[in-house]
Amino acid sequence: MLDSPTAPHRPDRPRPTGRYDGVWRRGRIIALLAVSVAVVMLGHSVLPDRPGHLASLVQTFLPWTGLAVPLLLVCAVIRRSATAAVAVLVPAIAWCALFGGRWVDKRAAGGDLTVVTHNVNEHNPHPARTARALADSGAALVALEELGDNTPVYERALASAYPYQEVRGTVGLWSRYPLADVRTVDIAPWPRALRATVRTPEGPIAVYVAHLASVRLSATTGFGTDARNAAARRLAAAMDAEPLPRTLLLGDLNGTTDDDALSVLTSRLRSAQDAAGAGFGLSWPASFPLARIDHILVRGVEPRSAWTLPATSSDHLPVAASLDLGTGP
């Protein structure tokens, strides 16, 4: 008798894998990457700052970690991995928990005082045009940083709209209201910050204009923030001694409110953008904003709305806020 052409199934031979088993077995590396991204998002505050100030670098661009979510999702689809697709939900949820609230439009009508701050770029090719744009904003206070050799241009161009003005080194304050008790705040080897009392109709407020030291990314030193961090500590010490209860800090801090290294300031004052803005309020670079390093921080006043102004000839965007000063002392 001839053997059958079809051999009988042997019990000890492994059975074929189900057609859906593979989608759960594949993509484990993608899943691991997704979880790692979520860990960086949620654990950024415990990242080591040495070597190279890694924590500050990550925190400066922390919102952009969300771009990993669609990228990993595409990888999961290409790999046909259910495991990876589910894992991608972890960083997606983490990002929404951290930044979802910033998409809520918190702007409201009202406010006693509109303020603008702008790093005008010392190499600005059109300073007079920039000054006119700032005056047209309608702000009662205009703080400028990185004035440089163009200082006389801004003084002339803003004089008619702002009869009160003070410049210290590379920073200046232009006001529609009288200024008093103006002094340089020592945060760097050369003047980069000032303090003034602005006598508004609602009472006096203390206004600080500051430009913290720049940061540089280097292959040898990493994210160079030492000078900036030292300036931030000196500025915080000066503001701790401020006797007026209503205080504004306007300027280019060369860092974001997510950067723990600037918590000496952000723990003492509120961000107008975070409290009363819509979106992230990114301000630098003007051509394609990646980070919000220009700030309006407040204490003792209530932000009503915050926004960025259209680009000027600077490499930063101007930022503005409308503030409710309440009843003055």
10-residue averages of pLDDT along the chain (329 residues): 50 53 82 96 88 89 96 95 96 96 95 97 98 97 98 98 98 98 96 98 97 86 90 97 98 97 96 97 98 98 98 98 80
Residue 49 pLDDT = 75
Minimal CA–CA distance to 287: which of 308, 315, 306, 265?
A: 315
Is it true that domain 113-324 has CATH number 3.30.1360.10? Answer: no
Residue 116 pLDDT = 98
Residue 121 pLDDT = 98
Residue 48 pLDDT = 82
- 266 contacts 297 by C-beta, under 8 angstroms: yes
Q: Judging by beta carbons within 10 Å of its beta carbon (0-12, 13-18, 19+), is residue 6 exposed, middle or buried? A: exposed
Query: What are the angstrom distances between the C-alpha of 43 and each of 39, 50, 60, 81, 233?
Result: 5, 16, 14, 27, 24
Which residues make up the CATH 3.60.10.10 domain(s) of the chain?
A: 113-324
DSSP 8-class letter at 177: S
Residue 284 pLDDT = 98
Within 10 Å of residue 151's Cβ, how many Cβ atoms? 17
Residue 13 pLDDT = 55
What whole-number distance in Å separates Cα of residue 317 and Cα of residue 88?
A: 34
Report helix angle 82-99 to 68-79, nearest 10: 170
- 55 contacts 47 by C-beta, under 8 angstroms: yes
Q: Kindly report the pTM of this predicted structure.
A: 0.90
Minimal CA–CA distance to 231: which of 191, 259, 260?
A: 191
- 250 contacts 143 by C-beta, under 8 angstroms: yes
Containing 141, the helix (H) or strand (E) segment is: strand 141-145
How is residue 91 written in tokens? 């960083």
Minimal CA–CA distance to 28: which of 106, 102, 82, 100?
A: 82
